[in-house]
Amino acid sequence: MKRIGMLTSGGDCQALNAAMRGVVKGLSHNVDELEIYGFYNGYKGLIYGDYRLLTSKDFSGILTKGGTILGSSRQPFKLMRVPDENGLDKVEAMKQTYHKLKLDCLVILGGNGTQKTANLLREEGLNVIHLPKTIDNDIYGTDITFGFYSAINVACAAIDCIHTTAASHNRVFIVEVMGHKVGWLTLYAGVASGADIILLPEIPYDIDKVIKAIDKRTRDGKGFTILAVAEGAISKEDAALSKKEYKEKLKNYKYPSVSYEIADQIEKRSGTEVRVTVPGHTQRGGTPCPYDRALCTRLGAAAAQAIIDEDYGYMIAMINDKTKRVPLKDVAGKLKTVDPDCQMIKEAKTIGISFGD
């Protein structure tokens, strides 16, 4: 008999359901009796005891369904130790729910913040298994996170569409790509869609170099330029500011996001008309791509095997195309960023893509 709790936390992505299905299928094929408690809306469900007993039927037919059948919410890690508005100790509440239901393990699907809380629960003596979810691909200790490839498809499709209209109107276009503080999604979507300039948080940009790259295209007879700009992109000047100075700058920031600031600077300095497109949360929505479905099925099956083995306290990672149990204590709180000197960036530069550096 196994009693499993399951929750999805943080920003959603396309293949959460596929991952949960993988876990449940893996367990139901190998365990005589199985009880699955689905907690609603992330850690909130565990804190406030909002859950439902699910059966394997609930996980049937959801391989291709985006979002999460359990719902999700953001519960910032830094507030986990802070009592809620009624004075409830959230960590104690989660432990109580876990023990009341006599769970063998909690399967927690989420990104970096979620992983930190999963590790906290491990330190508090709960059995946890974490599955690395995020379109940002910024979880340390795994080659890939689920949601990333699906999001590349969406971001890439947006840039593809911009290409045709940019070419018709001879315009400069900025497409702002999600990714939080890292540039994985922008790098892959930008290269895959033939962006001319790619700006990443890991490579602070010089606006003069960006304008130079646009001018060069114009001189070469290319009427339009596409910039793929990460939402976390940062200029050289801003990167040189202290944390305090940067916070001060943001207080008086007049742009909706960095892309609009870049557009404004290009327009003012070069007189070129610039349009900004923000695909935003579409990048997290819709159907998971086939790669993510297969990835999640594998991660789910490997999570099930860890539970069968009663081997807890891990993130199930994908490393060199092999699933691996990576100790949560070794990875929680670490960020996987793009190496500015990586081969992919060198190759992109070889074919003339500018990174504004």
Which residue is at the shortest CB distance from ligand F6P?
178
How far lies 80's CA from each of 16, 47, 132, in Å? Answer: 23, 10, 20
**Residues contacting ligand F6P: total by CB under 6 A:** 11
**Which residues partner with 106 through β-bridges?**
5, 128
The number of angstroms, rounded, from the C-alpha of 140 to the middle of its chain's C-alpha atoms is 12
Burial of 341 (0-12, 13-18, 19+ CB in 10 A): exposed
Token pair 């365990």 is at which residue?
Answer: 31
Tokens describing residue 85: 């508005």
Residue 178 interacting with ligand F6P (CB under 6 A): yes
Taking CB under 6 A as the criterion, the residue among 122, 130, 180, 293 binding ligand F6P is: 180
| Marked catalytic residue, from 50, 58, 84, 136 | 136
75 is in an annotated binding site: yes
Whose CA is closest to 63, among 96, 101, 23?
Answer: 23
Distance of alpha carbon 278 from alpha carbon 30, whole angstroms:
45
Tell me, yes or no, if 84 is annotated catalytic.
Answer: no
Distance of alpha carbon 131 from alpha carbon 304, whole angstroms:
11
- Lateral strand order in the sheet of 105-110: 51-54, 34-39, 2-8, 105-110, 128-132, 314-319, 322-327
Q: Which residues of 199-220 are buried (b: 16+ CB within 10 A; e: fewer)?
A: bbbbbbbebeebbebbeebeee
Taking CB under 6 A as the criterion, the residue among 2, 7, 9, 11 binding ligand F6P is: 11
DSSP state, residue 95: H
Q: By C-beta, is 36 or 178 nearer to ligand F6P?
A: 178
Which residues 73-132 are close enough to bind ligand F6P by CB under 6 A? 74, 111
Taking CB under 6 A as the criterion, the residue among 19, 110, 136, 197 binding ligand F6P is: 136
Q: By C-beta, is 136 or 292 nearer to ligand F6P?
A: 136
Stretch that binds ligand F6P, among 91-99, 122-130, 173-181, 249-257 (CB under 6 A): 173-181
Distance of alpha carbon 228 from alpha carbon 76, whole angstroms:
29
Residue 66 interacting with ligand F6P (CB under 6 A): no
Interface characters, 147-166, with ligand F6P (x: CB under 6 A): --------------------
Residue 135 interacting with ligand F6P (CB under 6 A): yes
Stretch that binds ligand F6P, among 21-29, 177-185, 264-272, 333-341 (CB under 6 A): 177-185
User: Which amino acid is it at 24?
Assistant: V
293 is in an annotated binding site: no
Q: By C-beta, is 231 or 261 nearer to ligand F6P?
A: 231
11 is in an annotated binding site: yes
Interface characters, 294-333, with ligand F6P (x: CB under 6 A): ----------------------------------------
Query: Collapsing DSSP states into helix, strand and coil, what is residue 151?
Result: helix
Q: By C-beta, is 138 or 196 nearer to ligand F6P?
A: 138
Q: Which residues belong to the annotated binding site for substrate? A: 134-136, 171, 178-180, 231, 275, 281-284
Q: Which residues bind ligand F6P (CB under 6 A)?
A: 11, 74, 111, 134-136, 178-180, 231, 284
